[in-house]
Structure 1
Amino acid sequence: MTQYYGHFAAVYDRLMEDMPYAEWLGFARSAWNKYGMPETIVDLGCGTGSLSIPLSRSGFHVYGIDLSSDMLTVARSKWDETPAQAVRPRAGSIRWLQQDMREWHLQEPVDTVISFCDCLNYLTEEADVEAAFRATFRGLKDGGTFLFDVHPPKQFVRYAEEQPFVLDERDVAYIWTCDFEESKHLIEHHLTIFAKDEGTRFSRFEEMHIQRAYDPEWLRAALQRAGFSKVDSYADFELEPASAQSERLFFVAVK
C-alpha cells in the first residue's frame, strides 16, 4: 500500500464532490438500526472527513483514522471551519489520528468501525487485508460491528473497458487511464490532474493509485479467520443481496 495522496489531497474534495456520501451514511444508519446503534465510531481510511464530520455532527463520538497526513490536514481544516452552533446539535466529538489501517489501535475499544469508499481495495496483498481485519477485530467491543464496502472484480473489468475518463471543468481537469491485470484483479489508475492556482495559472501533477479486488467468499472467510462470529453481505447501498451487476459489495461483520 503505497498511496499517500500528497498533492491530491488539495483537490480531493473538488474531484469527489459527486460521490454518494449520503448513501454511505444511509447504509450505515440502516445497518446500525438492524445490528445495534453505536455511540463510538472509527472511520477507517477517513480521508478528508466527508463521513467523519457529519457523523460527529449527529452526536456520535468519532475517531477519523487515515495514513495520509495531507488528507488529515484537510479534514482538520474542514472541521475547524465549521460553526459549532450550526452543526453540533448533540454532544458529538471527533479526533483525527494518523495510523495504518493494518495496525490501527486505540486505548479503548469502540462500538463500530466503518471503512467506505473502497478503502480495502487499496490493500493489494491478502496478508494486508487479513492484518486490517485482525486489527479491527481487536479494536471492537464484543458485539461491535465492522461495516465496509469493496469493488468486486467485475467492476475493475468495467473500468478497464470504459477508460479513458476525462473531466474538464473551469478550475480542475484530469485525464484518467487504467491498466488492468486480470489474473490478479489488480488495477492501476493513472491520473494527470490540472488544478487552478490563485489567478489564472494551472498546476499539473501526476497520481497513480493501485487497487485489488478480492473474491467475496475469500473476504468472508478472512473475516471469520480474524474472529468475527457473523458476516453478512449486501450490495449497492442497500440491505439486499448482491447480483452480477452490483458495483459495490457491502459487508457487516459482528464481533
Structure 2
Amino acid sequence: MPRSDTTHPRPAWYFPEYAPVGVDLGSKAAVAVYDRNQGTDPHADDALLDRLGVTEDTHLVDLACGTGSLVVQAARRGAVAHGVDVSEEMLAFAQARADRFGVAPHWHRTGFLDYAHRGPLADVVTTKSALHQLPDFWKQQALLNAAGMLRPGGAFYLWDVIFSFEPAGAETHLRQWIDAASRPDGEGFTRADFEAHVRDEFSTYNWIIEGMLQRAGFDIVSCAFPRPTHAEFHCRRR
C-alpha cells in the first residue's frame, strides 16, 4: 500500500500543496475520468523510458505520478521505481495498476515540496503535467528538491503546460488552445477544464522555467515546444 510520508511541521506561510488546485481529484470516479482523459499509453511511457535510459536497476522517481502509468512501466522493466503524489485516490489507482502487472513500485503520499528521498540517489527524476500546480516561487523550491534527490549527471525530465508564445499574444494563443483541445463531456477534458486550468492553476512561460532549472542545478540538454502551450525539458544534474 502507498506509504504516507510526513515531514516536520511547516510554517504558516508554507504553500498548502495537499489542498486541491484546479479540478478536485479526490474521488475514485474523478481519478478514473482523469486517467481516461489523459489518454494513458504504456507505449508512450516505454518510449520515454527508453529516451531516458531507464533499464533494470535504474533508480527512478516520478514526482506527482498521478495514476502511475510511467512508474509501473519502469517497474516492469526492472527499475527501482518510486511514485510520489499527494492524492490518496491517485495512489490507490496506481497501486491497482501495479497489482494487475505483478510489480511492486514504491508509492509515497507526499508532494513536490515534502518528498524526502531515502536510499541511493536517483538516476532519473521525472514530472509530467503537474508542476503547474505550484506558483513560480514554489516551482523553484520543488526543482531544488528534485535536484537534491538526483545523482550528479542524472536525468531530469519535465513535460507540462508551459507557454512559449509572446506575452502580448497570450489571449489569442490561449483561446486557440482551449478551442482546439476541448472535448465534449465524457470524451476528454472539457472547455471548463481548460478554462479552470488557465484561471486557477499556475502555468508559466518557458523563459521563466529555463531560469529556474538552471538555478536549481540543471543543465538543459534539450527542449521542445510542440505547441505554444506545451513544452518538454530534458536536463542533467550538474
Identity %: 21
Paired residues of 1:28 and 1:147 also in contact (CA < 8 A):
no
Corresponding residue number in structure 1 for 2:105? 94
Match in the other structure for 1:249: 231
Please provide the CA RMSD for this pair: 3.0
Name whichever structure is richer in helix by fraction.
Answer: 2
Query: Equivalent residue for 1:200?
Result: none
Q: 1:231 to 1:12 in 2, by over 3 A?
A: same
Amino acid at match of 1:102: L
Bigger radius of gyration: 1
> Does the 8 Å contact 1:148/1:250 carry over to 2?
yes
Going by fraction, where is strand more abundant, 1 or 2?
1
The residue correspondences of 1:72-151 to structure 2 (distance < 5 A) are: 72-82=91-101, 84=102, 93-108=104-119, 109-116=121-128, 118-123=129-134, 125-151=135-161
Return the TM-score normalized by structure 1.
Answer: 0.69
**Take 1:146 and 1:187, find their aligned partners in 2: how far apart are those partners?**
25
- Please list every run of 5 or more consecutive structure 2 residues that lacks an aligned counterpart in the other structure: 1-16, 166-172
Q: Number of residue pairs matched?
A: 206
Match of 1:223 among 197, 200, 213: 213
> RCO higher in 1 or 2 (8 Å CA, sep ≥ 6)?
2
5+ residue gaps, structure 1, are: 189-209, 236-241
How many angstroms apart in 1 are the aligned matches of 2:56 and 2:96?
Answer: 28
Q: Displacement, 1:180?
A: 5.1
Q: Secondary structure at the match of 2:192?
A: strand
CA contact (8 A) 1:156 1:180 kept: no
Contact 1:146 1:254 in 2 (8 A): yes
- Please report how far the alpha carbon of residue 226 of structure 1 lies from its aligned counterpart in structure 2 after TM superposition: 1.3
Structure 2 counterparts to residues 176-255 of structure 1, below 5 A: 176-177=191-192, 187-188=198-199, 210-228=200-218, 230-235=219-224, 242=225, 245=227, 248-255=230-237
CA distance in 2 between counterparts of 1:214 and 1:174 reads 20
Give secondary structure in 2 for the equivalent of 1:78: helix
Per-residue Cα deviation, 1:84-134 (whole angstroms, up to 9, x for no partner): 3xxx6xxxx511001111232112221110112x111222x1111001101
CA contact (8 A) 1:163 1:177 kept: no
User: What is the identity, as a one-letter code, of the residue corresponding to 1:167?
Assistant: D
